[in-house]
Every structure is written in structure tokens, then in C-alpha cells.
Structure 1
Amino acid sequence: MTVSTTSILQQRSRPPRRIRGRVFRSPTAIIALVWLVGLVIASLTGPLWLRYGPLEQDLSAVLQGPSAAHILGTDELGRDMLSRIITAAAPTLLIALITPIVAILITVPITLWAARRERAETVVNRISEIVLSLPGTVIILAFIAAVGTNMPLVMAAFGVLVFGAMYKVFFGQAKSLHKQLYVEAAAVDGVRPMVASIRHVLPNMSTTVIVQFVLLFGAAIGLQAGLAFIGLGAQPPEPTWGGMIQTASSFIFQQPWLMIPTGAVLALTIIAANSLADVLAGGTAMPPPLVSIRRKKKPTDAEVPAASNVSTGAAAASVALASDAPASDAALTAPGELVIRDLVIGVDDGPALVTGVSMRVRPGTVMGLVGESGCGKSVTSYSLLGLLSPGLSVRSGVISWGGVDLARADEKTLAKVRGHEIAYISQEPTRALDPMFTISWQLAAAVKRLRGVRGSEAKRIAGELLTDVGIIDVPRVLKSYPHQISGGMAQRVAIALALAGTPKLLIADEPTTALDVTVQAEILGLLRGLIADRGMSIILVTHDLGVVADLCDEVSVMYAGQIVETGSVRDVLVRPEHPYTMALLAADPHAILDFEGTTRLASIPGQVPLPGSMTSGCRFADRCRFARDECLGEVPLMPRIAGDGGVRCVRRDEVQGRQDEWRLPVTTLGEER
């Protein structure tokens, strides 16, 4: 009745394929469809071409075998077997459809709901286990005793009883699909959870749903025949396949042939349903190969905005934000300005992952958020849109945007911000794009939702967005599926999706990490152009200090969930004051040639501490070459010695300008303490 776990996993691993094409390429599926549809058509048109009626008796021709008059013989009352089998086909098949329809209509919505809500998942899991433990045969028999042999109602009850088994098959796939980046991207664009589930998760489950539908259809046919065989189906003289098999069993010794026609038709019908399900679950078609793209010309120096356009005192604001001033002035922020104050994000009933993060992103500027993996950069960026993973929450702090505190905003308020005012560009664009739909459909759908325009206008804007992000062959790309375009072009499409709602702030989570150097330069040039043309601000989450130097106006360096240094790009990268920033610069392959005699990149001993092991003192002390006993106490974010901004180091006066000491041979690192 259900597909095995192996089959489901195989379906997940393959790219989506058109089910219709798969069916019509398979002779088995074609034969199965012809048999099932042919039976229904023959049954419905039977009165027009059958020689005898299903109830017409001929007592002179009782229990006869095949003959010219009766092709499949006659039964114990001389009724024509062909007429009775054909007449019973349509009611049997059409009533059997009730079971999978009821099961799918109940199971799919509940599964989609449970897969995206942790509490709902717990409740529905318990309910499905209870349903699975019920004795289905006993319940069906009791139901028949209560309502009679009303087959439509019995088949509907059977559909309810298989909820538990169907849910177990669907839930794992739905849960996995809800974690895909293209579903998260839909949430970023402001799509409601259920709409995102129906639009992006359900189509990717379509093969599994259809396979289960067909298999359950075959099971319902068998159940009808079984109930009729024991006398609980439609009552005589109405013909049923199960009733005719029961009659044939009574005369098995007088006329063995009587069992063969009905039994063969019933068996072939169930085999046809199962064979069709096998074809739908299989298929080995491969996706089309990747296509080449034309590269956009690298922007000239005149097109690149200067990093010096940051207003005086902009970086110094980050230190002021870390002060003990109250956070009630969220409404005083300028339009298009993001202010984060004392943000704390933690695991429910667990340790904090991000503590005391404060940051100001002014309109038209780029804020770089840098640090090693595990330092809290992505968690911080997710919190701006209310998209923290289940189990994580904002414990305290303020995220001020347009007079609204996003840290405490409800889902309705966040939906007005996502995509419309703040957009997100993911690290892996090919996963952020839904493989089931063309680029045109996805872009047009986003434009319709975020700009409130109609279909033709949405398609026109979609084409303009692709042109704006430097795609030359727009008509071909619009018709393409995500797997038909290269990584660089997919990243451009992801940026176009982010621009569908004319946002004022872009959150770019390592947008160039998965791209080669040439394409990285093109994407960075594109982002520069967007800042200049649209006046947007950007939060750039990255590991690459070269990208920060090339694109950013201000930098916030994160370590172990804290901002340890902040300031203008020139101040932080040329005159770093925190040992962690110095170590990152020393490990930068682009800067190693600036130091004579250095032949190896530096490395930082140890690793980022786990959230539960973070101390109240300097969190970098265990890995720092300059650490002393005074570093074990609490270290606030203090003003920089040179320039505007802040630094979280009690020895900043002593270690300033000593970043070259990190460029010693790797074997000597950590020896000086």
C-alpha cells in the first residue's frame, strides 16, 4: 500500500522530471492506462454494444463455457459473464477512487502543516501512531454494521484509516523540502508559510503523492472485491467482481471456468494500477547539460563608488550603540537605516550564540560582517528577517528598521518587510531557486506578489530585472530551469529575485564564495552598480577580506558571537587594533606579499569556542599571542585609538600596529604568551 523508504530516498535524489513524459515513454504505463480507462469507457457505454443485459437470464444456458453466443460463458442463472463483468467495472473503479482522494486530501495538508511547525509535528506524529495501531479490518466491519453496505462511505472510511501510513511516507520528504534554501528564500520574499508549502514543497512531492494515490487505488479495488466476496458489498442481483468470484467458488467443481474471467479481470486491474505506480516511482532521465553564458564586461574605475563616501562619525556610531543607553529610540532611526543594539540570540533553554551585537548600517553604504565559521554572522543576519531556525530566538536587544523593532515584530509585520524592504541573497543560488519552475515563472511570481502587478506587466519587469543584473540573453534565461544555467548566472538570477520588491537593504550571505574568481569580480561589480543606481545599503557576510576591501565602507569583525572590532574599511584593514583582526589579515593570501621574507600563511591556533564554553572575559584569549591575565576579565567595546569605531581589547594600546607579528612561521605561533 505504501512505497518503500528506499524508493522515496531515490525520488529525493533525482532532479524533478515531467511525469507525463515519463508515463508516455513507458509501454508498461501506456498499457496500464489503456486497460484502466478502457474498462471504464466500456462499462459506461455497455448498453450501446453489449448483446445481453447484466440481469438477463437464460435458464437453458446455465453454467456454460465460452461460446459464440456467450464469449465468456454464463453463470448459475444463465446470465452473460461478459455483460456482468463489464457492467461492474465502472462502479468498482470509480468508487475505488474515493479512497485515495480522501486519503490525499486529509494527509497532504496535515503533513505540510506539521513539517513546518515543531509543536504540530509532535501532535500529528502521536495521532498518526494511534491511527496506525488501530485494527483496520475490525473498524471497517464495524463501520459496515453501522451504515450498511454503502460502498462510497466505506471507501471514504478506508481513506481515513490509511492516514497514518500515508503520513509516515510523506512527512520525511516534506520535512526535508522545507529545509531547502528555495523555501527559505520564499519566506524571505514575504510568502506566507502555507503558500510557500503549496507552491514550492508540494510540487516537489508530486511524484510521491501520485505514486501513493495509484497504489491506494489498487488497494481499494481489492478491498471492494474482498468485502463483496464475504457478502458485505453491493447486494444481488447487482453485479460485483467480488460477488461473482464468490459465486464461482460455489460451483468450482461443476464449472471451473466460471472463476477464470472475473478473477483474471480483477487481477489484471490491480496489476495495472501497481505497474503504473512503479513507472511513476522510477524513471532515469537525466537533466540537460549546463549551458555556457556570456560574461559581462568588468566595470571601469569610474563606475566604482569610492569607499571614502562614508560620512564622518558613521563608524563611531557602533560604539555608541554598545553603550547602556535605553533602546526605546527605535523610531528615531532615519529611513533606510538599520540599527542593531545589544542583540542577544540563544538556544531555547540553552546557551547564547550571539551576545551584545550592536551595529548601524546607514543608507547607501555597505557593512561587511566578517569572521570565521561559527562566529554568529549568518545567525545575526537571519534574525533581521525573523528567520531563525526552530529552537533559536532573540532573547534581548533591538533591531530597529523604519521605526519598527524587528526583534519583537509579529509575523504579519515581518511579512511586510521581507522582500519589500529587506531582501536576502543566499550563498548557494541554485538551491535558492525552485527546480520545479522556470526562471520566468519564479521571477514573475515574486514581482506579482511584491509589486502588486498583473501577469504581463510582471513578465516585463522580470525581463528588466535580468537585464539590470547583467544577463544578456534574457529570453533564453527566462525559459530556462535553474539546472540549465551556470552558477554565475544563477547568482545573477538570485540577485534579480532579491530586487523584485525594490528593497532598501540587501543581506548578502557570502554571495561569491561558490564562484570562480572571474565571476566573483562580475558579481561584485554588479553589487557596486546597484548601490550607485538604487541607493541601497548592503550587509555583506563574508570570509574574504579582499571582497571587504573591494566593496565595503565599514566593517564589523565578529568572533564567538561578539563584535570585537568595528570601523571604516581603511581603519580596520590598514590599522587593525584587535589581535583577531590582525590574525585574519595575516592569514589573507592577498596580503602575504606585502611582508618581505614571509613564505607561509599564518594560522590561528585552536578553534572558535563552543557557545556553552564561552567565558565572560576575552573570548579570543586562548588563541591570542598577546593575551595576559587582565584579558580574563570582562572586556567592553571601547573607542578605537585611531579613527572612528570600536575595539574589544584591553591591550589595544600595546598591540596596535603589531599585525606583522602574526606572520611568523606557523610552528612559532602561540609560543609567546
Structure 2
Amino acid sequence: MTTVPSSVPQQSAGTSLIRSVLTSPRGAIVVTFLLLLVLVCALAPVIAPFDPLEQHLSAVRSGPSGSYWLGTDSLGRDLLSRLLHGGRGSLSGVLEAVLALLVVALPAGLLAGYLGGTFDRIMMRVAEVVMSVPVIIILLAVLSIFDHSMTSAMIAFGVLGSSGLMRVIRGAALTAREQLYVTAAELMGLSRLQVVARHVLPRCRGVIIVQASLFAAVTLGVQTGLTFLSLGPPPPAPTWGGMVADAASVFNQDAWMLVPPGVTIALTVLAFGVLGDVVRDANAEKHAAAPRPRRRRRKGAPAAPGAGEPVPEDGALLSVRDLSVTTDDEQALTLLDGVGFAIGPGETVGLVGESGSGKTMTARAVMGLLPRNCRISSGAVVFDGKPIQGLDQRAFRELRGRRIAMIAQEPMAALDPSFRIGSLVAEVVRAVDGLRGKAAQARVIELLRLVEIPEPEEAARRFPHQISGGMAQRVAIAMALAGRPELLIADEPTTALDVTVQAEILDLLRSLQQENHMAILLVTHDWGVVADVCAKVVVMYAGQVVETARAADVFETPAHPYTRALLLSSPEHAVAGERIQAIPGTVPSPRHWPTGCRFASRCEFARPACTEGVIPVERISEGRVSRCVRVNVLLGQEARR
């Protein structure tokens, strides 16, 4: 009996980033220097040999000695003591500025990049206004109003500098939100806050640390300049800028006084800059390290068509009714045009067509995850008898990952490379079941075992780049099954896998469906997959459904020229030594959809009537329709074959 581990690893790739920084020579040096500097300055009241204001008139401007390790200034005050005490104010000022910078820029940049739309436009206009403000004038005003309070000045400096960082974070978030694993997290029912915190923020972590490090260096320089001009704490309070000012006044008599504060300031600024470079390099290496899965072409003959009668729409679990999707651009494009089909409880339906036919767009419309510039312009999506296209995001999250789940097209890309497998699955378990601690850990192992992953405890400890494409697909299926969905949408679940692994995944889906009586919408272009597992087929072309029928009928007598051409172009029908019967031309883009039948320019059965007007959907028999005016000719020819 396999025991459940005491903990499913929750360690993210953030730990590996820190390890990469610390194991590099430059990173180890600058981190050690900064930590040591912070430590000695924090302990200044304990370790400083003298009070920073204590004067030793008998040792004015003396050099380094056993009594005064770094010498004294023009009033006989110990330079080492003043340097340590002054460092407390300088470093705390840098920390205050950086914290103010992050508090403002981090949430604003992340939400602007992830949410987009009106919020993004407002944030960008605010950032532009703030960037136009003269910083030095604002700082002088703050110091005047708040009685030379360097804390107030540094907080103001951080807020004023946040607009630049916000724009950088927004750019990184815009890129991160297009990643497939972000979409996969949304499909699993995670809230926007959870998606941003768990998947968008880690992707932006590198640029945030780099920019914060550089800002810290700039802040130290600004703060030193202000105290040099006596705009900060008034003398004789110890400050690094004040020490430089004192040294400058007697530079011709004693140049040494400039060395301790000058070297300390220079090394600290340099350390912040180098730290930013080290983090940038480590972050780039981490993201480049994960290999991409190789796409392999599937070969093999289709198995016998699946059995099953088409389900009437009134008894359907999912019903897509005359669905149209358009863009919100000035020149609105119709991407889906009157799409309609139904899926019954426990039924497997194949959604078939070439790339660009609208298969994935249809699946995303069902999930309520259309691209941000697209909307449902007409029609309805009805799940379990209730329309769902008008639901808000909160209501959709109650469906996603629980009653409806989706497996994304690229299994490896759908897994966030920043987290271990166990952490990714546990995240979904917490979202859909509310489980925590050992209960969540046990459920993770149960799900990994359910999808037949060998040694699930060991697999949970691995990162996505450490597993194969087939295992990644099984992990994606496990995440989709966490909420025990009634409908599973599988978008090209076997495309990136070799033929042996494809067969295993299909067998797994079939067995899971039988065990859980789960309906499956299988988005694919592979007829072998359709023949293996599907009871019904919906064929799409150029944003329209052109044929719907039982899988057995489609393979025996296709009722649309496009379906027939797809079957003939399948590699399984190729004859040795002869060319595959490829379909001439390409799927037209939404900008150039022709009048009438959209397949007419590629169809051998086309006649002038095919391009003269809208082609209606013709009912051939119970549960079977075709969008073709010459369907009788096609069926007659197929019957004679």
C-alpha cells in the first residue's frame, strides 16, 4: 500500500531563483556585502566604538589608528561611529522609498496588464501625468512642509517613481496573461486575484526585482545629495551626505575624510546595480531552461466509429444555439456565425475542422473565456437548462473547474513552470473543494493516481520541465478532474504526443468517462481520435457548423463536401507511392468570408447556386444536418461508392 507523503511540495521556482543568485560569484558577493552592511548599521548602537556626536578635540582630523579605526573629522568625531549610525538612516530611507514604490506600482501594474480595458487606459494616463511632475521640486516642497523629514521625502520619491515601474510591470503582465497556463488557471475556476498572485506575479518577479534594485541605487544617490545640501536631518546628526559635505569643506587639508563615506556610498550603489544584473541573468536562464515539447506527427489507422445516438437538444447537458461571436474593433468581424450543437450527459462529441475553423473559439465561448476584444453578439449557450453566456465572472467561476472543465491545447505550456506539479494540482483542489493541509495533499495524490501517473508522490515533487509530454497531459487531466466536472472540454489533447502516448491518453479519457458518466467535447482535427472515442461529430468550417451527425454515419457517408474532403485528406487513406488528397487552398479569414457557401472555392461539387446567397442548414434525418445545397448529389455519389 502506497502511503501519502506528509506534504506535497509547495516550493516554487522563486526558491530556485534565489539559489541561482546566491550560487553565482557576483550574486554571493553583493548579497553578502549588503547583508553585512545592513547588519552592522542595525547594530550601530551596540558595536560603534563611540557616540557619533562625541568630540575628541585632541584628535582632530587624525588618520586611522588603533583608537579610531577610520580616523576622525574636523571636530574630532569618530568617522566609523558616524558612518555606522548614518547608515541606519540612509538604508532605512532606501527601504522606505522602495516599499512605497512597490505598494503603488505592483498592484496597479499587475491589474492594468491583466485586466486591460478601461482600467488599463486610466492607469496609463495617471502614470503619464505622474511622470511629467518635476520630482526635485516636489521633494523640496515635502522637506519644507514636513520639517526636513527624510522619511516623508523618501516615501514621496517612491510614489513619484512608481509610474515608471508600473509601466514595466504592466508590460510583463500583458505578456504573462497570454500564457496558456494562465488561461488554464482561469479554466480551473481560480479567481482573478488567485490567477494574478499565483501565475502572473511570478512571471513578473524578475523585472520587479531588477527595477527595485536599480531604484534603490538611485534613491541612495538622491538621499545622499539631499543630506549633502543639508536638506535632511540638520547637523550634527550623522548622515552619509553630511559626512561627504564635511569632508568637502576641508578636502585640501585632509582628503582622507572623504574616503570612508565616499567608498561606502559607491560600493552600496554598485552592489544594488550588480544585484539587479544578477537577478536579471538568473531569471532569464531559468525561463530558458525548460525545454519545449516536440510535436510529432501521428500515424495510424482509425479504429471503428463510436456508437451512440445523437441527443435531442431538449435533453442536452450543453446546448449551443445559433451562437455568433464578433470582435469589438471599429471594423467588427464575425468569428463564429450561427454555431449550434448539443451534447447529452455522458456523451462524447468531436468538434472537427482545420485550423482557423473556429473550434477553439467555440470552446472558449462555452467557458466564458473569449479574447478580451471579442463578445457573443447573438445566440445562447445553455448548460443544464440554464443560459450561461450572461453570467458575471463570479458566477462563471462556480461553473469552471467544477461543473465544466477544460484541458488546454498544449499540456506542457498549460503548466506554470514556476511551481512543482503537486503545488499546481493542490492549487486547483483548494479552489474547487476548499481543502487544506493533509486533506488537500491526499486529494492531490488521489488525482495523480486516478490518471495513472506512476509513483504519484515522486511526480508531485517535480517541475513541469522534468516530466514528459504524456505525463504533462495526465497532470492537466488530473487538474481538470479535481472538481468532478459533468462536462470536460478537451482541446487537441493528443496533438503534441506520439502515437503510443496518444492511445494511452484516449484510453484514459474513455475509462474516466465511463467511471464518472462525464460528457466530453473533443476538439480535434484528427479523424483517428474521432473514430476512437466519439459518438457524434460536429464539423466546422470558417466559423460555421457544416455538418452534424453520428460518427458512424460521417465515416460511412459524409453529408458535406468539406467533411468528405477532410476524410480523404487523412493520412490513413494515403496509398503508397501516391500523393495525399490534400484540400486545395486555405480556410478564408473572417475579413474575406465569401458570400454563400464558404467552402465553394475549394469544393469539386460547387455550382453557381452555391455562391448566390446564404446556405441554409438542411435536416437530412433525425440528429443529422448539413449546410450544403447539393447534399443529395453528394450522398448519392457516396452511396454508389
Q: Counterparts of 2:357 and 2:511 in 1: how far apart (Å)?
A: 30
Q: For residue 128 of structure 1, what is the aligned residue in structure 2?
A: 127
1:429-444 paired onto structure 2 within 5 Å: 429-444=411-426
1:110-129 paired onto structure 2 within 5 Å: 110-116=108-114, 117-129=116-128
1:215-614 paired onto structure 2 within 5 Å: 215-283=214-282, 284=285, 307-308=306-307, 310-311=308-309, 314=310, 317=312, 333-334=314-315, 337-348=317-328, 349=330, 350-593=332-575, 599-614=578-593
Shift of 1:351: 1.9
Q: Letter of the aligned partner of 1:105 in structure 2? A: V
- Cα deviations across residues 317-349 of structure 1 (Å, max 9, x unaligned)? 4xxx6xxxxxxxxxxx54x71111111111124
Q: For residue 209 of structure 1, what is the aligned residue in structure 2?
A: 208
Q: Counterparts of 2:29 and 2:214 in 1: how far apart (Å)?
A: 17
Q: Counterparts of 1:397 and 1:645 in 2: how far apart (Å)?
A: 20
Q: For residue 640 of structure 1, what is the aligned residue in structure 2?
A: 620
Q: For residue 327 of structure 1, what is the aligned residue in structure 2?
A: none
Q: Counterparts of 2:156 and 2:234 in 1: how far apart (Å)?
A: 20
Shift of 1:600: 2.2
Q: Which moved more, 1:359-368 or 1:283-292?
A: 283-292
Q: Letter of the aligned partner of 2:319 in structure 1? A: V
Q: For residue 671 of structure 1, what is the aligned residue in structure 2?
A: none
Shift of 1:275: 2.1
Shift of 1:217: 1.9
Distance change in 2, residues 1:305/1:655 (3 Å): closer
Q: Counterparts of 1:468 and 1:61 in 2: how far apart (Å)?
A: 80
TM-score norm. by structure 2 comes to 0.91
Q: For residue 626 of structure 1, what is the aligned residue in structure 2?
A: 605
Shift of 1:288: 8.0
Q: Which moved more, 1:551-560 or 1:215-224?
A: 215-224
Q: Which moved more, 1:43-52 or 1:465-474?
A: 43-52
Q: Counterparts of 2:289 and 2:601 in 1: how far apart (Å)?
A: 51
Distance change in 2, residues 1:504/1:198 (3 Å): same
Shift of 1:196: 0.5
Shift of 1:16: 7.0
Q: Counterparts of 2:292 and 2:453 in 1: how far apart (Å)?
A: 14
Q: Counterparts of 2:191 and 2:565 in 1: how far apart (Å)?
A: 43
Distance change in 2, residues 1:657/1:148 (3 Å): farther
Q: For residue 49 of structure 2, what is the aligned residue in structure 1?
A: 51
Q: Does the CA-based 8 Å contact 1:245-1:262 persist in structure 2?
A: yes
Q: For residue 41 of structure 1, what is the aligned residue in structure 2?
A: 39
Q: Does the CA-based 8 Å contact 2:224-2:240 persist in structure 1?
A: yes
Shift of 1:286: 9.0
Q: Letter of the aligned partner of 2:49 in structure 1? A: R
Q: Counterparts of 1:273 and 1:620 in 2: how far apart (Å)?
A: 62
Distance change in 2, residues 1:254/1:381 (3 Å): same
Q: Does the CA-based 8 Å contact 1:101-1:213 persist in structure 2?
A: no
Shift of 1:48: 3.4
Q: Counterparts of 2:546 and 2:581 in 1: how far apart (Å)?
A: 20
Q: Does the CA-based 8 Å contact 1:586-1:660 persist in structure 2?
A: no
Q: Does the CA-based 8 Å contact 2:318-2:382 persist in structure 1?
A: yes
Q: Counterparts of 2:477 and 2:365 in 1: how far apart (Å)?
A: 20
Q: Counterparts of 2:483 and 2:148 in 1: how far apart (Å)?
A: 57
1:156 to 2:136 alignment: no
Distance change in 2, residues 1:91/1:416 (3 Å): same
Q: Does the CA-based 8 Å contact 1:429-1:491 persist in structure 2?
A: yes
Q: Letter of the aligned partner of 1:195 in structure 2? A: Q
Pick aligned residue for 1:99 from 75, 97, 100: 97
Please report the RMSD computed on the Cα atoms of aligned residues, expressed in angstroms.
2.4
Q: Which runs of no fewer than 5 residues in structure 1 stay unpaired?
A: 1-14, 293-303, 322-332, 664-673
- Cα deviations across residues 141-173 of structure 1 (Å, max 9, x unaligned)? 222222231011110000011112112222221
SS of alignment partner, residue 98 of structure 2: helix
SS of alignment partner, residue 57 of structure 2: coil
Q: For residue 88 of structure 1, what is the aligned residue in structure 2?
A: 86
Q: Counterparts of 2:292 and 2:567 in 1: how far apart (Å)?
A: 38
Shift of 1:485: 0.2
SS of alignment partner, residue 109 of structure 1: helix
Distance change in 2, residues 1:587/1:213 (3 Å): same
Q: For residue 301 of structure 1, what is the aligned residue in structure 2?
A: none
Distance change in 2, residues 1:245/1:353 (3 Å): same
Q: Counterparts of 1:34 and 1:516 in 2: how far apart (Å)?
A: 49
- Cα deviations across residues 119-142 of structure 1 (Å, max 9, x unaligned)? 222221222222222222222122
Q: Counterparts of 1:49 and 1:635 in 2: how far apart (Å)?
A: 88
Shift of 1:613: 2.4
Q: Counterparts of 1:272 and 1:585 in 2: how far apart (Å)?
A: 64
Distance change in 2, residues 1:36/1:645 (3 Å): same
Shift of 1:31: 2.9
Q: For residue 4 of structure 2, what is the aligned residue in structure 1?
A: none
Q: Counterparts of 1:203 and 1:493 in 2: how far apart (Å)?
A: 21
Aligned residues: 615
Q: Letter of the aligned partner of 1:249 in structure 2? A: A
Q: Counterparts of 1:107 and 1:375 in 2: how far apart (Å)?
A: 41
SS of alignment partner, residue 187 of structure 1: helix
Shift of 1:657: 4.9
- Cα deviations across residues 504-551 of structure 1 (Å, max 9, x unaligned)? 001011100111111111111111111111111111110111111111
Distance change in 2, residues 1:275/1:180 (3 Å): same
Q: Counterparts of 1:422 and 1:233 in 2: how far apart (Å)?
A: 61
Q: Counterparts of 2:209 and 2:185 in 1: how far apart (Å)?
A: 25
Q: For residue 328 of structure 1, what is the aligned residue in structure 2?
A: none
Q: Does the CA-based 8 Å contact 1:577-1:657 persist in structure 2?
A: no
SS of alignment partner, residue 282 of structure 1: helix
Pick aligned residue for 2:73 from 65, 75, 85: 75
- Cα deviations across residues 220-249 of structure 1 (Å, max 9, x unaligned)? 221111001111011111111101111111
Q: Counterparts of 1:290 and 1:628 in 2: how far apart (Å)?
A: 50
Q: Letter of the aligned partner of 1:404 in structure 2? A: K
Q: Letter of the aligned partner of 2:160 in structure 1? A: L
Shift of 1:30: 2.9
- Cα deviations across residues 352-390 of structure 1 (Å, max 9, x unaligned)? 111111101011111111111111111010000110001
Q: Letter of the aligned partner of 1:226 in structure 2? A: G
Q: Counterparts of 1:108 and 1:558 in 2: how far apart (Å)?
A: 43
Shift of 1:291: 14
Q: Letter of the aligned partner of 1:281 in structure 2? A: R
Q: Does the CA-based 8 Å contact 1:425-1:506 persist in structure 2?
A: yes
Q: For residue 325 of structure 1, what is the aligned residue in structure 2?
A: none
- Cα deviations across residues 21-60 of structure 1 (Å, max 9, x unaligned)? 1232133333323333323332343343433221111223
Q: Counterparts of 1:644 and 1:52 in 2: how far apart (Å)?
A: 93
Distance change in 2, residues 1:291/1:183 (3 Å): closer
Q: Does the CA-based 8 Å contact 2:538-2:549 persist in structure 1?
A: yes
Distance change in 2, residues 1:291/1:29 (3 Å): closer
1:189 to 2:224 alignment: no
Q: Which moved more, 1:560-569 or 1:206-215?
A: 206-215
